[in-house]
């Protein structure tokens, strides 16, 4: 199984450029989410989705857009990149909880973005 696949692994942008980080999962997970990882700050939630056609904002949504047209895909769009968006981005997915407790996330390998 591929699990959660993110592309690209590395990207360099200039300020003001736009791009899309791709995320795909093949586990038929209902939930998908995007986190960013910054030194000394752990992982912070950007946007999440509880199913196709449903998205919501996380802790740090500004400057990012998402959509979820299929169960498998959850792309993250940067409309006008800024140096503050230099980070490592992780996509994660999980089943809707069927047992007690919060869901276990499956993460992709990450996408390292540098904005000059």
Among 12, 79, 82, 104, which residue sits at the site for another protein (rule: CB under 8 A)? 104
Instruction: Decide: is 61 part of the binding site for another protein (CB under 8 A).
Output: no
Q: Is 86 exposed, middle or buried (0-12, 13-18, 19+ CB in 10 A)?
A: middle
d(CA 4, CA 24): 6
Find the binding residues for another protein in span 16-35 (CB under 8 A): 31-33, 35
Counting DSSP H helices and E strands in the chain, the numbers are 0, 11
Instruction: Decide: is 11 part of the binding site for another protein (CB under 8 A).
Output: no
User: Which residues are near another protein by CB under 8 A?
Assistant: 4, 31-33, 35, 40-45, 48, 50, 58, 90, 92-94, 96-97, 100-105, 107-110
């Amino acid at each position: 199984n591929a699990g959660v696949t993110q592309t690209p692994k590395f990207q360099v942008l200039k300020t003001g450029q736009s791009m899309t980080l791709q995320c795909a999962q093949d586990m038929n997970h209902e939930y998908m989410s995007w986190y960013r990882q910054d030194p000394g700050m752990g992982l912070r939630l950007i946007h999440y989705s509880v199913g196709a056609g449903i998205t919501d904002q996380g802790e740090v949504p500004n400057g990012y857009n998402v959509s979820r047209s299929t169960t498998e895909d959850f792309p993250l769009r940067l409309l006008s990149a800024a140096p503050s968006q230099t980070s490592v981005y992780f996509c994660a997915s999980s089943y809707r909880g069927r047992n007690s407790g919060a869901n276990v996330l499956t993460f992709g390998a990450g996408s390292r973005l540098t904005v000059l």
